[in-house]
Amino acid sequence: MNDEFEVSESQFQSAFDFKAFLHRALSYWKLYILFIGIGVFIVYQQNIRKQQSYRLATQISIEEESNPLFTSTASLTFNWGGVSGKVQTMMTSLSSRSIHEKVVDNLQFYVSYLKQARFRKDDIYKQAPFRLQLIPNTNQVLNVPIKIVFIDKNTYELTFNFETSVVSAQNFTTKERLNLDVPVEELKMKFALGEPVILPYFNGTIELAEKRTATIGDEYFIQFSDFDAVVANYKNRLAIDNPRNSAILNLSMVDVNTGKIVDYLNETVQVLSEDQLNRKNQFVTNTINFIDAQLERVRTQLTLNADSLNNYREQNKIYNLDGESATINNKLTDLELEKDNMNRKLAYYASLKTYLETSNSFTDVPAPSIAGIDDGNILSNIGKINQLSVQKSKYESTVRKDALIFDDLNRQIEGIKTVLLENISSATSGIKREMQTVNSKIATAESEIRRLPKAQQKLLGIKRQYALSEQTYNVFLAKRGEADIIKSASVSDVLVIDTAKDTGAIPIDLKLSSRYLFAVVGGLLLPLMLALILTFFDKKIHSPQALGNLSKIPLLGVVGKSTLENNLIVHLKPKSAVAESFRGIRSSLQYMYSKKDLNSSKTVMVTSSVSGEGKTFCSINIATVFALSGKKTVLVGLDLRKPKIFGDFEVKNDIGAVNYLIGQEAVKDIVQQTNIENLDVITSGPIPPNPSELLIGEKTDALMATLKETYDFIVLDTPPIGLVADAFELLKYTDATVYVVRQDYSEKGMLNLINDKYDKGEVKNLSFLYNYYDQKGKYGYGYGYGYGYGHYANGYHEDEKTKKGLIFKLKKFFKKS
């Protein structure tokens, strides 16, 4: 035996036959053409139907800005935790629904302007030559394309095609949705440009866009989408990136229309900036509102005091005071102004104390400088509690109510509130002590005034009230101007670094031309994968080399594919390649016999694993080549279960080996001559009920002994050893055993039994005959038998039926391809 075959069975079974894979893959050329054609067609259809997507971006920076409020000594910075905290707050705001609702509402992105392309309606946005102005607080039909066709320069036609009797509509002012009953038909109406269209399901005015003209016959569409759905769509598509946790935010969006991306990103930044600035100016806004209320009150009082002064002067004919009276009046006026300031501070402290004790939000506290408060501790703590309250208010619109950040903010606010209450108590006590001193000075001045004439006393009192109101008014007026200056000077913490702009956006989708490459690759890959899978799971033997890798049993010879319907190819076509193959086998057998010094009759047994491998074909032609060499030969059909050889020789199977084995006939009576010189045939005869028992009887010994006395060569056609054990009973009579393996038919696992017998020495003088060899044959397409030998056993077991279902038809199709 050859050492090159010393390989374990597990290694045989696990080896991947790359050559078989390559051969199979090349044989699928028709599939390559088919799949590539399908792939190119699919890509072409997708390309002509798909609208390309683009990505644009804008970049903003979150700045740290301070806003001094009213006085140079009081700097109230609205810092929500430093720049890092602001960035997180901005990102939270950008992810909130409220900001996207404002953007969609401002841009009216719930209205789509469409134009019919070949296979789709493209979103053309600002490329449409007209604009729709909605009538506020009216209903618009949802998800129904409204066709607009320009009839002339001033007239257009609206077409509504309702497919159901009930449609959804929405009021984009209140965002309320409702259902409307409509006729199930196509409605066409003509309107003039600029003419209001008032219908139950559509309300608005269509006007030409600036510097645009409409082409007669052009068709466009308007379609309304649900407001909440549009908001959710854009909210999900806005991408926010904070590189390296810096103060930079990159905002980007993907859409099929670059104009929409540009407007949405820029409007989002604008809304964010305004929202942040409004929150930042909340303190000063509250202060301005407070000042306005005070100015109105003091203005009314000032008018009343001025009227009283003028009336008194006219009635009493007193227009000026003497020098002493004026001096006393000025002194008293200054004291009362000082007292009024103190009362204003006390009133502010009292109001602030009540506010701190009863309110949960501290964003409405007016600025302390309104009341002339200059206590550094109070100014600082009010600023802190206000900025914490603004931060808390911001989080309440974007963060869950049970978030831990609210507990932290509440603890900080409560701590500052406690300190503020102590500051208020201390400041109030100090002002009350100063008030006592001022009251004492006022009492002294009033006693001096009481020495003046009654008329002048009355005039002094009226003038003091007027002067007091005038001074208070001027103070509030000055504060109002300061507050306006501060508010106008305040800037947003959102700084735009790069606005969104279409500078030649490149589609982010795969380039249309590149898709054809993928179609070609996919068309090649699918058949290759099919070839790989079939090769990997292929159990067939496809070449003599593969047979040599599967077994240590030597190869006797290789027989080519026969195209004759009759098995007598050596007799009918003696010059064919197949006939020459059998002559080579004859030479190999004779060489084997000569090495064993077999000069008497020689016996050759031909068997295989299963039915269909060409065992009978090989038996007939091996016997034929021996007979043509001038040797007296007999072909014995011992396949008692499925006899075949009689048909090729055109002899009858009425009497055969079975008749001799059961004692009905003598040997001479079962031998039949053929048309081939020196070749006789013993057919199997009638199918017996007990073929195995017949072959192991004494009659078989007698038969073989008789035949050896008469013939030079005895060729035994036996049953497949993979299905029945009959052939093993005949091994003792044979000088050489030929085991037939058929290309693309025999399975690798079928050799396990004979390999095991050969390794154990139970079968000797055994050789393989590789049958039906076709160097250009297809790999892996069977002949209708099933896994596990099931369909191979046709004729050897009772009630066997051959089933040719869908799998068989598919295999047959691939074999033809």
Write out pLDDT tens, residues 7-37. Answer: 444 444 445 678 778 888 888 899 999 999 9
Distance CA 62, CA 123 (A): 34
Q: What is the number of domains present in the chain? A: 4
pLDDT at residue 65 greater than cutoff 60: no
**Which of 69-83, 438-452, 560-574 reaches the highest mean pLDDT?**
560-574
The pLDDT confidence band at residue 364, using thresholds 50, 70 and 90, is low
Write out pLDDT tens, residues 388-416. Answer: 776 776 666 556 666 677 777 788 888 88
Say what angle helices 97-107 and 258-280 make with each other, to 10 degrees.
120
Residues 6+ apart with CB under 8 A from 624: 568, 570, 571, 582, 676, 679
pLDDT at residue 726 greater than cutoff 80: no
What integer is the mean pLDDT of 371-396? 72
Give domain status of residue 159, yes or no: yes
Q: Are strands 186-192 and 155-161 parallel, antiparallel or unpaired?
A: antiparallel
Give domain status of residue 89, yes or no: no
The pLDDT confidence band at residue 599, using thresholds 50, 70 and 90, is low
pLDDT at residue 676 greater than cutoff 70: yes
Last residue of a domain, one of 206, 225, 244: 225
**What are the distances in angstroms from CA 79 to CA 75, 165, 318, 328, 363?**
12, 57, 58, 50, 14
In this prediction, residue 437 carries a pLDDT of: 84
Which range (73-87, 143-157, 542-556) has the least confidence? 73-87
| One domain, residues 211 and 325 | no
89: phi > 0 → left, psi -120 to 50 → alpha, else beta; which?
A: alpha
* HSE toward the beta carbon, residue 134, CA cutoff 13 A: 23
Give domain status of residue 755, yes or no: yes
pLDDT at residue 133 greater than cutoff 70: yes
What integer is the mean pLDDT of 108-126? 89
- Share the mean pLDDT of the chain: 80
In this prediction, residue 770 carries a pLDDT of: 95
Give domain status of residue 219, yes or no: yes
What integer is the mean pLDDT of 453-482? 69
Q: Which residues pair with 767 in a beta bridge?
A: 738
| One domain, residues 419 and 522 | no
Place of tokens 């003696």: 574
| One domain, residues 625 and 716 | yes
The pLDDT confidence band at residue 764, using thresholds 50, 70 and 90, is confident
pLDDT at residue 146 greater than cutoff 90: yes
Three-state secondary structure call for residue 327: helix
Between CA 32 and CA 38, with CA 33 as vertex, the angle to 5 degrees is 100
CATH number at residue 638: 3.40.50.300
Q: Return phi, psi of residue 637, to 5°.
A: -85, 95
In this prediction, residue 689 carries a pLDDT of: 85
What integer is the mean pLDDT of 578-601? 84
Give domain status of residue 650, yes or no: yes
pLDDT at residue 444 greater than cutoff 50: yes
Instruction: Note the helical H segments in 138-257.
Output: 227-237
Distance CA 808, CA 783 (A): 8
Residues 6+ apart with CB under 8 A from 702: none
What is the number of other CB atoms lying within 10 angstroms of the CB of residue 257? 21
Which range (273-277, 418-422, 487-491) has the least confidence? 487-491
Residues 6+ apart with CB under 8 A from 434: 342
In this prediction, residue 130 carries a pLDDT of: 93
Distance CA 594, CA 199 (A): 110
Q: Are strands 130-134 and 139-141 parallel, antiparallel or unpaired?
A: unpaired
The pLDDT confidence band at residue 780, using thresholds 50, 70 and 90, is very low
| One domain, residues 525 and 569 | no
Look up residue 593 and give its amino acid.
Y
Last residue of a domain, one of 225, 243, 258: 225
Place of tokens 């295999």: 811
In this prediction, residue 7 carries a pLDDT of: 40
Helix (H) or strand (E) holding 285: helix 282-316
Give domain status of residue 203, yes or no: yes
Distance CA 363, CA 284 (A): 10
| One domain, residues 139 and 194 | yes
Pairwise pLDDT comparison (191 vs 498), residue with the higher score: 191
Which range (89-93, 316-320, 477-481, 541-545) has the least confidence? 316-320
| One domain, residues 379 and 433 | yes
**What are the distances in angstroms from CA 436 to CA 330, 366, 444?**
20, 27, 13
What integer is the mean pLDDT of 134-148? 95
Instruction: Note the helical H segments in 8-113.
Output: 9-14, 18-26, 29-49, 82-94, 97-107
Q: Which residues pair with 112 in a beta bridge?
A: 223
What integer is the mean pLDDT of 300-311? 70
What integer is the mean pLDDT of 734-761? 91
Write out pLDDT tens, residues 198-233. Answer: 999 999 999 999 888 888 988 999 999 999 999 999
Q: What range defines the domain where residue 21 resides?
A: 3-53+513-536
CA-atom Rg of the chain in angstroms: 54
Distance CA 371, CA 475 (A): 10
In this prediction, residue 531 carries a pLDDT of: 87
pLDDT at residue 589 greater than cutoff 60: yes
What integer is the mean pLDDT of 508-531? 81
In this prediction, residue 158 carries a pLDDT of: 95
Distance CA 719, CA 717 (A): 7
| One domain, residues 438 and 522 | no
Q: Considering only CA atoms, which of 538, 536, 554, 537 is closest in space to residue 741?
A: 554
CB-based burial label for 137 (10 Å; 0-12, 13-18, 19+): exposed
Say what angle helices 258-280 and 376-396 make with each other, to 10 degrees.
150
Buried b vs exposed e over 585-616: b needs ≥16 C-beta within 10 Å?
bbebbbebbeeeeeeebbbbbbbbbbbbbbbb
Helix (H) or strand (E) holding 704: helix 698-710
Q: Considering only CA atoms, which of 199, 200, 206, 201 is closest in space to residue 221?
A: 206
Write out pLDDT tens, residues 244-267. Answer: 878 889 999 998 889 999 999 999
In this prediction, residue 312 carries a pLDDT of: 62
Give domain status of residue 91, yes or no: no
Distance CA 518, CA 756 (A): 50
Last residue of a domain, one of 207, 225, 243: 225
Q: Which residues pair with 255 in a beta bridge?
A: 54
| One domain, residues 713 and 586 | yes
| One domain, residues 528 and 548 | no
Structure tokens belonging to residue 600:
């008497």
| One domain, residues 640 and 743 | yes
Between CA 477 and CA 487, with CA 482 as vertex, the angle to 5 degrees is 125
| One domain, residues 530 and 569 | no
Q: pTM here?
A: 0.52
In this prediction, residue 385 carries a pLDDT of: 77
Distance CA 684, CA 686 (A): 7
Pairwise pLDDT comparison (377 vs 520), residue with the higher score: 520
The pLDDT confidence band at residue 451, using thresholds 50, 70 and 90, is low
Distance CA 36, CA 755 (A): 45
Write out pLDDT tens, residues 647-665. Answer: 888 898 889 999 999 889 9
In this prediction, residue 361 carries a pLDDT of: 64
The pLDDT confidence band at residue 69, using thresholds 50, 70 and 90, is very low
Helix (H) or strand (E) holding 633: strand 633-637
pLDDT at residue 75 greater than cutoff 50: no
In this prediction, residue 170 carries a pLDDT of: 96
Strands across the sheet containing 248-255:
239-241, 248-255, 54-62, 494-498
Three-state secondary structure call for residue 603: strand
758: phi > 0 → left, psi -120 to 50 → alpha, else beta; which?
A: alpha
| One domain, residues 701 and 588 | yes
Give domain status of residue 73, yes or no: no
